[in-house]
Copies of this chain bind each other. A is one copy, B any other.
Amino acid sequence: MATATEPVTTTAPAATEEPKTMEHISIICSKGTLDMAYPGLILANAARMSGIEATLFFTFWGLDIVTKKTAEKLHVSTVGNPSMGMPTMLGGLPGMEAFASTMMKKEMEKLDIPSVSEMLEILGDSGAHMYGCQMAMDMFKRKKEDLVPQVEDVISAMDFFDKSAGAQVLFI
């Protein structure tokens, strides 16, 4: 890395001749905290608003985002998140997580950002495709009917790759 300290003067390559556009964004949502649920939902929504195809694959803890019982109960992670500006000990106090979650939800409401359930409805209406991960479903013993109706199907990682051919794939 020593050379990294010297400024690199090469200019960024010129934009390629042919105009490129993003066609499809495919997002793997693996985390179930409120602050990691929103980025996936917001990016997918921005994609649809730009006419970009959007596919979401909910796996591991991310399955909570599309599980009826938990979708509206996601919490912000306060511990181990120095950016919250809260010392770790304080973050670990009972109630702090609920407090931070309430604060974040209020702040997002002020900005007209829909709740998680509302985001899922908007995404469904907009033509985004949402899938649950078969393995995570088995691991957490969930059934298709435990998931919000916007989830089209429960599929394997291999199926997800099929559906993501040519897409820009993100892992959240």
Which chain B positions have C-beta within 8 A of A122? 4-5, 7-8
Bound form: Cα–Cα A3–B42 in Å: 12
Q: Which of A1-58 contact B (CB under 8 A)?
A: 1-5, 7-13, 16, 20-25, 27-28, 30-36, 38-39, 42-43, 45-54
Which chain B positions have C-beta within 8 A of A164? 22, 168
Binding site for B on A (CB under 8 A): 1-5, 7-13, 16, 20-25, 27-28, 30-36, 38-39, 42-43, 45-54, 59-61, 64, 70, 74-84, 87-89, 91-94, 96-97, 107-108, 111-114, 118-119, 121-122, 125-129, 135, 138-139, 156-158, 160-162, 164-172
